[in-house]
Structure 1
Amino acid sequence: MRAPDPAGASALLVCETAGEASTLSAAEQELIIRTAADTARGRSRIIGGAVTNATSHAIELARRAEAAGADVLLALVPYYNKPMQEGMLAHFRAIAASTGLPIILHDVPPRTFRPLADETLLRLAEPRQFIALRDGSGDVSPIDLKILQSLQEDPQPGTPTFTSRCSCLTWRLMSLP
């Protein structure tokens, strides 16, 4: 890994769903996140993946990512298990309770088979620890537009920023301490 270009990305995402994470042990993921954090040396934020379908394993990955120097976590809707919305809420809240890091929610309905519902998103938007949504559905909902509109009208630092459903990642890392 080379040091990030200071004029380039403000954050690096490692151990995420489309890459290497599913083939690595927890110790290997921790080593990759530590290497990224050591290499970035504060020039870029490190987003460490805690992406798995088992809540207890996601908690272990979250704790290891935090210990390794991640600045932010990426947490995934559990895949293949097909949890109901209350199950998703419990999954994300358990991860949040295990760490002090801000968390980006990752919703990929083609892989998880159940989308993160707008009502669940709104409930998760209440704690400031959930700072963003990485969305892979491609479906713009009225709730997403309402959240984005309210952020544009009153952009307070630290306010959770969620993407519209556009298969992209948008967040306000600049507002983090």
Structure 2
Amino acid sequence: MIKGSIVALITPMSPEGDVDYASLQKLVQFHIDNGTDAIVSVGTTGESATLPVDEHVAVVQKTVEYADGRIPVIAGTGANSTSEAIELGDLMQSVGISAMLSVVPYYNKPQQKGMVKHFQAIANAATVPVILYNVPGRTVADLEADSVIQLAQHENIVALKDATGDLGRLAELRDRVPADFALLSGDDPTGCEFMIQGGHGVISVTANIVPKLMSDLCKAATGGDPELARQIDASIAELHRKLFIEPNPVMPKWALYKMGYSQSPFLRLPMVEPDISSQESLEKLLKQMALV
């Protein structure tokens, strides 16, 4: 089962906008050293929307190379065209990934039946496990609980990343999916309670900045120590909030630049660097947490 603290890794870039592979290697090692359980490469936080296919594949391939079997690498492979998602998955599977994360089709607003058929087609074509990714705040379409339950019966669909922040959704799913199907939060502010109430882990933006704390939080929340989990979560609650004062991944990229893990906070257009007020707000917190 894919579980625990799974980082939604940024894609570091040079001031000119090229992928910064030296910083990527440094970040992979940072997560291995601090107990992160798995890496999602080129998901939403990794700027999948603005990396062309060849670059997308190259970043995943390098992440697998740098991980060198020490930590699983999950590739972001979603698309709003089923055939495109399958093609991207085919390219990713050849570089040694452990699983693929496939987002709900965006913009075209498919029906529930269409989404079920979409993911079944992807899973039928895949040679690695598939993780469903439901994030209606970005895709508009919402993969409903009954659809997840139906898809969870497919032998190659092994988990759900749910970024709704709705703990009621977890309650709907928890007892109705197979025992080996992983329920993963995609919402840092509610991730702790998600795990305490029966979830198996979190695909986390905050883990980019404090991987050891997120690893400890996940171990406590899934290991029967809710008091410790809530204590750790309270200590990083303001970080959860400040990392989303501008659209993700604007703030985590800027934070890692300030922390010395990336040579620049560059984002591909149409994303741009954070406003000065946002920079100052997050930098103040990072100093309070002794991260810079």
TM-score, normalization: structure 1? 0.83
* Residue-by-residue CA offset, 1:56-112 (whole Å, 9 max, x unaligned): 111111111111111110000001110000110111111111111111110011122
Partner of 2:159: 132
Structure 2: how far apart are the matches of 1:138 and 1:80?
21
Judge conservation of contact 2:161–2:185 (CA < 8 Å) in 1: no
Query: How far off is 1:119 after superposition?
Result: 0.8
* Aligned position for 1:18: 45
Q: Does 2:122 correspond to 1:101?
A: no
Cα distance, 1:150 vs structure 2: 6.7
Q: CA deviation at 1:7?
A: 4.8
Deviation at 1:55, TM superposition (A): 1.1
Q: Tell me how far 1:148 sits from its aligned partner.
A: 2.6
Q: Whose RCO is larger (CA < 8 A, sep 6+)? A: 2
For the aligned residue pairs, the C-alpha RMSD in angstroms reads 2.4
Alignment match, 2:139: 112
Secondary structure class of the residue paired with 2:182: coil
Larger radius of gyration: 2
Q: Which sits farther off after the overlay, 115-124 or 132-141?
A: 132-141
* Match status 1:52 vs 2:79: yes
Q: 1:164 Cα deviation (Å)? A: 6.4
Aligned counterparts of 1:147 and 1:23: Cα–Cα separation in 2:
33
Q: Distance in 2 between matches of 1:164 and 1:73?
A: 16
Bigger proportion of residues as helix: 2
Query: What corresponds to 2:68 in structure 1?
Result: 41
Gap regions ≥5 residues in structure 1: 173-177
Matched letter for residue 67 of structure 1:
S
> 1:149, CA displacement in angstroms?
4.6
Which secondary structure does the structure 1 equivalent of 2:167 belong to?
coil
Alignment of 1:151-166 (within 5 A): 159-163=180-184
User: SS at the partner of 2:91?
Assistant: helix
2:171 aligns with 145
Give the conservation status (yes or no) of the 8 Å contact 2:163–2:186: yes
Aligned residue number for residue 11 of structure 2: none
Question: Could you say which residue in structure 1 is the equivalent of 2:108?
Answer: 81
Hey, what's the Cα distance between the residues in 2 that align with 1:122 and 1:61?
Answer: 25
Shift of 1:147: 3.8
* Mapped contact 2:100–2:129 kept (Cα < 8 A): yes
SS in structure 2 opposite 1:92?
helix
How many pairs are equivalent? 166
Q: Which runs of 5+ in 2 are unaligned?
A: 1-24, 192-198, 203-292
SS at match of 2:80: coil
Contact 1:148 1:164 (C-alpha < 8 Å) held by counterparts: no
Contact 1:132 1:170 (8 Å CA) reproduced:
no
Distance 1:140 1:115 in 2: 15
